[in-house]
Chain A
Amino acid sequence: MHEMKWIPEDIETYLNVKEYVDTVVVPLYGISMDKEMKQSAEAAEFITLLTTRIERQFTGRLILFPPFTYLKKDPIEKALADLFEWHNVLKADFKHIFYLTSDSDWRLKEDMLQGTLIWLPSIPLKSMNDSQKFELIDNQSQQLFSILTDKWIESE
């Protein structure tokens, strides 16, 4: 077993080792059209690479959930209400819930979220070659790893 993503094989593994998996990571993607469409796609790529990296590092203790998507044109309160619903479902199975996003709107609502919000400003990766991209994502993820392990140690 090397991964725990939202695909049938991994979910089967998850169900077998459920008692060891107490953490879930949910990417939050704001979707925009028109002028901000490109920016919204860049943010999604950045968060996807990061969450994939986190998932690979901590397979066995965490599962990567499908992204929570919402329309940027709607007020953030609407997305927040929907995310509460997700949270209520997730908290039954997971002790630690992490939300990862590069949408700064969530920072204003951080106090209202029950999980841990990790906000990172998106970095456009378009102009980089693969090894630069890899190094950047790797550096950023190393910092995220400690956020997760600290939470785990805290709860011991």
Chain B
Amino acid sequence: MGKNNVTRRQFLSYTLTGVGGFMAAGMLMPMLRFAVDPVLKADAGGEFIQTPKKASELTSEPTRVDFTYKQKDAWYESDVTSTAWIYKDDNGKIVALSPICKHLGCTVNWNTDKAHPNQFFCPCHFGRYEKNGKNIPGTPPPQPLDLYPVQVKNGYIYLGKAQPRTHV
């Protein structure tokens, strides 16, 4: 028997420590994960959601784009569908506006008020916005329409969480 040989006792003790440690880790890891779970979760506000719209399909005319994502409401998870009005501005930049009227939360539409063409129009209290979302003075809305952060991945448009603006 050479000097460096492992004795039966040593072999058993190494193996058992190894296996035991592995088992303990198996039990402790999920517990640790539960404890720090909120830290590991990505911030929902920073998530970008894919829309079915391709960037190449956009024109200078705002188009309605619906997109769906999961929302958790207490213990109940549901599919929520949101809408954005998306167009390309004169510089070719993609602009995505929230359709939620800043007055009381109705849904605005593009170019539906015959008396005021090429504006966003809220049918509830006749609020109006310019194409870039700027609220038109003399109509009820106190602020411009919220703006979605935009990303383009693989040709498709992704939208973040709509951000309020104080001026345009």
Chain A contacts to B: CB under 8 angstroms: 1-4, 17, 20, 56-61, 130, 134, 138, 145, 149, 152
Contact = CB atoms under 8 A, between A and B. Distances in A.
Contacts of A17: 104
Nearest to B123: A149
Interface of B: 66, 68, 79, 81, 100-101, 103-107, 123-125
Q: Is the interface of A mostly helix, strand, loop or mixed?
A: helix
B79 A60 contact: no
B106 A57 contact: yes
Contacts of B103: 20, 60
Nearest to A2: B105
Given A130-B79, A149-B123, A61 B107 contact: no
Given A20-B103, A60-B125, A134-B66, 20 more contacts: A1-B104, A3-B105, A4-B105, A17-B104, A20-B124, A20-B125, A58-B106, A58-B107, A58-B123, A59-B105, A59-B107, A60-B103, A60-B124, A61-B104, A61-B106, A61-B124, A130-B79, A134-B68, A134-B81, A149-B123
A60 B123 contact: no
A59 B123 CA distance: 11
Contacts of A130: 68, 79
Given A130-B79, A134-B81, A152 B104 contact: no
Nearest to A150: B123
* Residue in A61, A134, A138 with the greatest tally of chain B CB atoms within 10 Å: A61
Given A2-B100, A130-B79, A134-B81, A152 B106 contact: no
A62 to B, nearest CB: 8
B107 A57 contact: yes
